[in-house]
Structures are given as C-alpha cells and as structure tokens.
C-alpha cells in the first residue's frame, strides 16, 4: 500500500458510455486511486429537489 493520501477523479456525467473504460484507464495511468461517480438522485435529494 502506498504511503500517500488517496486521490480520485470524478467521472463526467455527460461522458458517453463507450468512453468510460478509456477514461478510467487514463486516470489510473495518471496516478489516481479512485474513480468517483455522481448519483444524480442523491445529488438532487441533497439539494432538496425531486425529479
């Protein structure tokens, strides 16, 4: 295990599905430890909104 703080990158919400694997691999090559995904329902709930 590395002795540094873990860092991550946020998956863009509008990224086409066919580009997700390439995006994740690039993030890993750049040294990111995690790939974060936004749950749109949770984000709206946090803002007090509904769909």
Give per-residue pLDDT as tens, 1-51: 567 889 999 999 889 999 999 999 999 999 999 999 988 777 677 778 766
**CB of 12 within 8 A of CB of 35?**
no
Largest CA distance in the chain: 42
Domain count, the chain: 1
Does residue 51 form part of some domain? no
Quick check: helix, strand or coil at residue 41?
helix
Q: How many residues does the chain have?
A: 51
Does residue 28 form part of some domain? yes
Q: What is the pTM of this model?
A: 0.69
Does residue 21 form part of some domain? yes
**CB of 36 within 8 A of CB of 13?**
no
Full residue range of the structural domain in which residue 18 is found: 8-46
Does residue 40 form part of some domain? yes
Does residue 22 form part of some domain? yes
Contacts of 26 (CB under 8 A, 6+ apart): none
């Amino acid at each position: 295990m590395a002795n540094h703080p873990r860092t991550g990158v946020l998956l863009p919400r509008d990224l086409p599905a066919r580009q997700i694997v390439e995006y994740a691999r690039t993030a890993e090559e750049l040294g990111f430890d995690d790939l974060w995904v936004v749950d749109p329902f949770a984000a709206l709930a946090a803002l007090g909104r509904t769909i």
